[in-house]
């Protein structure tokens, strides 16, 4: 087979055969299919899309480009994936919380790029925390703690890592087929029994509209079924940051608060909802109500925080909470009324500018910078109230405080508060 012929076939909107997809993925991993050829294929997929069978085969080929995590306990194995959004620190809470209820959570996470933060960047705010581990080390950690949070390595779905970098360059990041294969290849390689997916919807999310979010949710559910991985999906609101903190160290601090039974209600509630879905899926509980009751108890009793401490210690981290932040500066409201909307793009761009995120892969992160929101949609605001607190070195302050008064729009009448959970897809 000739790669150029297959790329032309997909460009002409003709489905690729299973053996053609495997040939391209295997050849790319061996260096026999060039970057420019795979880039052309990614662009063709983005434009012409793929059917479910094609996506399932692409996913399987990416899984088998590497190895799978071995079974090391007899406990059910579950995980969660989020499409990302401002202030989304749920993973830091969810993994140790689930581990307290006799399931294993082998979480392979990523780094942030653009407006949304990465779980690994947040964890590396903790001094000494190690995100790189061999399969043998991570298996031992799973036996001891019941969860780990590490980065992908060259052995787990390496085709995904190679293809992901091309997607960013070629503008094919938005392809539902490629997103589906990327997510599921890593999760299937983790040898999961069930997966819960949190698809963010709104101005602070990758998926801006309900149509786009629902298309991705259905794709992952359908391909998961073809791949023998049960998937449940929650579409959650991202028209404003999740919780109060947006950044790295600040989100770790907020996660610790939730793990101790405190913290912002919306972070706690969403985490519990996601956990309940996957616990019922693997028959740990008969129904969601009993699962939720158990999860609430694990948070309020401190058991979830103790498990988080165990995980951090086992991965080389030194617990010194709260983590220190850069100097604080108040953003003051210039008008009175009610908060109608939040400018998520301005928040995200500001944090990236302060080196709290990346505009390019490989950019160094300043874990101490970030922002704490004091108002949410529907809240009343008066002149002189604090809209937010900005954490950054004085030399980076410039005119940011004045610009950040625009992170909220104010209306004269109280608007309707958006629901935390927009829809469930099953």
358 is catalytic: no
Helix, strand, coil percent values for the chain (each to nearest 5): 45, 15, 40
Which one of 186, 187, 284, 307 is the catalytic residue? 186
225 is catalytic: no
Q: Which of 43, 394, 83 is nearest to 220 (CA)?
A: 83
Q: For residue 345, what is the enclosing H or E element? A: helix 344-353
SS3 state of residue 122: helix
Rounded Cα–Cα distance for residues 315 and 131 (Å): 7
Rounded Cα–Cα distance for residues 61 and 57 (Å): 6
Quick check: 214 and 193 in contact, CB under 8 A? no
Contacts of 356 (CB under 8 A, 6+ apart): 117, 247, 248, 365, 366, 367, 369, 370
Side-chain-side CA neighbours of 213 within 13 Å: the count stands at 27
As a residue count, the chain comes to 426
Which one of 64, 80, 81, 89 is the catalytic residue? 81
Which one of 79, 88, 104, 160 is the catalytic residue? 160
Quick check: 59 and 227 in contact, CB under 8 A? yes
Which one of 82, 138, 172, 182 is the catalytic residue? 182
49 is catalytic: no
Rounded Cα–Cα distance for residues 77 and 193 (Å): 5
The DSSP bridge pattern shows strands 105-109 and 147-151 to be parallel
64 is catalytic: no
Rounded Cα–Cα distance for residues 10 and 167 (Å): 16
Angle, CA of 89, 390 and 347, to the nearest 5°: 60
167 is catalytic: yes
Catalytically active residues are 81, 160, 167, 182, 186
């Amino acid at each position: 087979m000739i790669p150029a012929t297959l790329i032309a076939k997909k460009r002409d909107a003709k489905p690729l055969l299973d053996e053609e997809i495997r040939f391209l993925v295997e050849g790319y991993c061996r260096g026999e299919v060039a970057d420019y050829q795979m880039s052309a294929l990614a662009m063709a997929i983005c434009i012409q899309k793929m059917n479910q069978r094609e996506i399932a085969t692409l996913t399987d080929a990416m899984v088998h480009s590497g190895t799978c995590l071995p079974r090391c306990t007899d406990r059910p194995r579950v995980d969660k994936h989020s499409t990302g959004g401002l202030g989304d620190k749920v993973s830091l809470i969810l993994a140790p919380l689930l581990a307290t209820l006799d399931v294993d959570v082998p979480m392979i996470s990523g780094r942030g790029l653009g407006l949304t933060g990465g779980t690994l960047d947040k964890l590396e705010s903790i001094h000494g925390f190690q995100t790189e581990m061999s399969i043998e080390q991570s298996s031992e950690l799973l036996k001891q703690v019941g969860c780990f949070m590490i980065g992908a390595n060259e052995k787990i779905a390496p085709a995904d890592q190679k293809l992901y970098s091309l997607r960013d360059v070629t503008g094919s990041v938005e392809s539902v087929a490629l997103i589906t294969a990327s997510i599921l290849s890593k999760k299937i390689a983790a040898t999961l029994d069930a997966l819960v997916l949190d698809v963010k919807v709104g101005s602070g999310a990758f998926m801006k509209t309900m149509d786009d979010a629902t298309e991705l949710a259905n794709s992952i559910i359908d391909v998961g079924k073809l791949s023998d991985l049960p998937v449940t999906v929650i579409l959650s609101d991202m028209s404003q940051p999740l919780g109060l903190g947006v950044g790295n160290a600040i989100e770790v601090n907020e996660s610790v608060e939730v793990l101790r039974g405190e913290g912002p209600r919306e972070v706690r509630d969403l985490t519990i909802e996601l956990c309940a879905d996957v616990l019922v899926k693997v028959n740990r509980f008969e129904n969601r109500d009993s699962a939720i009751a158990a999860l609430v108890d694990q948070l309020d009793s401190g058991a979830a925080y103790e498990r988080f401490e165990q995980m951090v210690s086992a991965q080389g981290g030194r617990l010194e909470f709260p983590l220190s932040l850069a100097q604080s500066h108040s953003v003051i409201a210039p008008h009175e009324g009610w908060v109608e909307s939040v400018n998520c793009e301005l928040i995200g761009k500001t944090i990236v500018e302060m080196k709290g995120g990346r505009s390019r892969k490989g950019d160094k992160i300043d874990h101490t910078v970030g922002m704490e929101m004091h108002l949410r949609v529907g809240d009343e605001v008066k002149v002189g109230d604090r809209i937010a607190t900005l954490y950054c070195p004085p030399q980076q302050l410039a005119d940011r405080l004045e610009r950040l008064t625009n992170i909220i729009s104010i209306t004269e009448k109280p608007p309707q508060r958006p629901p935390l959970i927009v829809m469930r897809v099953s």
